[in-house]
Amino acid sequence: MELLKECMLCPRKCGVNRYEKKGYCQASNKVKVAYVSFHMWEEPIISGKRGSGTIFFSYCNLKCLYCQNKKISLEGYGKTISNKKLGEIMLNLQRRKAHNINLVTPTHYAFQIANVLKKLKGKELKIPVIYNTSSYENVGTLMMLRNLVDIYLADLRYFDDQLAWKYSNCHNYFETATMAIDEMYRQVGKFSLKNEILQKGLIIRVLILPGHISDAIRIIEYIYKTYGDDVIISIMNQYTPVNKIEKYENLNRKVTDEEYSKVIDFAIKLGVKNAFVQEGGTASESFIPKFDSSVIDEFL
């Protein structure tokens, strides 16, 4: 595992030997999983009727101030497992009729994930694989996943890099994320469905932040002008304040109905056809998983 001896997997480019120390994300050379579930609250073409087979990974290379999964992204809650066990979880989810394998916050484990999928994809593992990411990714890392990932479920968090610096401690988010999303699209192309379940393609999520609808509008305009109707845009109002953020008061409230309506109205006027929108009740802590290691054990 030479890549982990001088880790440059993500745009932080720490260069640390993950066998000996930890970099920005705090992940070691071993995969750590925080939660496994049949997720019913992804986009309908992802969750379907039986649920998306989600595997939540511990730690994160972005670490947004407002993260609703702070327990795993910042505090590192989870259970360390072998690559073999990760593969077994995937196959267990498949046996139990999950529509897909949904790898949530996988960036810092991309190397291990690629090695697992090389052994399973198209052999024992037949259902679509989803890479569910903040898009703060290196193109070179994503290239390791070519022909292994069927669906990219990609955030596009910020248009304005000043917001990215304030809220996620990174200077170059938009350029980095859009280059990454270009590579995702090159790999999977225009989306396709079978029996109303997504089989391949790219969904780009736009999480509206309170007080920043203009940024969301610029993101949607960029996506539509770049990819047209070949990708699906998911316009999300589910921002949920879970921790008091003293420095930025706007982050301590939910997105208003008026803010959300303005963004949706813009998307309609722009001509966006393939989009998901959310209706009341999504900005609730009840939608945040209750992380419990016994849930992981159930799938081992």
Mean per-residue pLDDT for 63-68?
A: 94
The CATH number assigned to the domain holding 287 equals: 3.20.20.70
Within a domain: residue 215?
A: yes
Domain range for 244 is 32-297
Within a domain: residue 8?
A: no
Within a domain: residue 131?
A: yes
Q: State the total domains in the chain.
A: 1
In this prediction the pTM is 0.94
Q: What distances in angstroms separate CA 272 from CA 48, 155, 202, 221, one per listed residue? A: 23, 17, 15, 9
Within a domain: residue 14?
A: no
Within a domain: residue 286?
A: yes
Within a domain: residue 203?
A: yes
pLDDT tens profile 224-278: 999 999 999 999 999 999 889 999 999 999 999 999 999 999 999 999 999 999 9
Contacts of 188 (CB under 8 A, 6+ apart): 149, 150, 151, 152, 200, 201, 202
Burial pattern 141-164, b for ≥16 Cβ within 10 A else e, equals: bbebbeebbbbbbbbbbbbeeebb
pLDDT tens profile 116-175: 999 999 999 999 999 999 999 999 999 999 999 999 999 999 999 999 999 999 989 999
Within a domain: residue 244?
A: yes
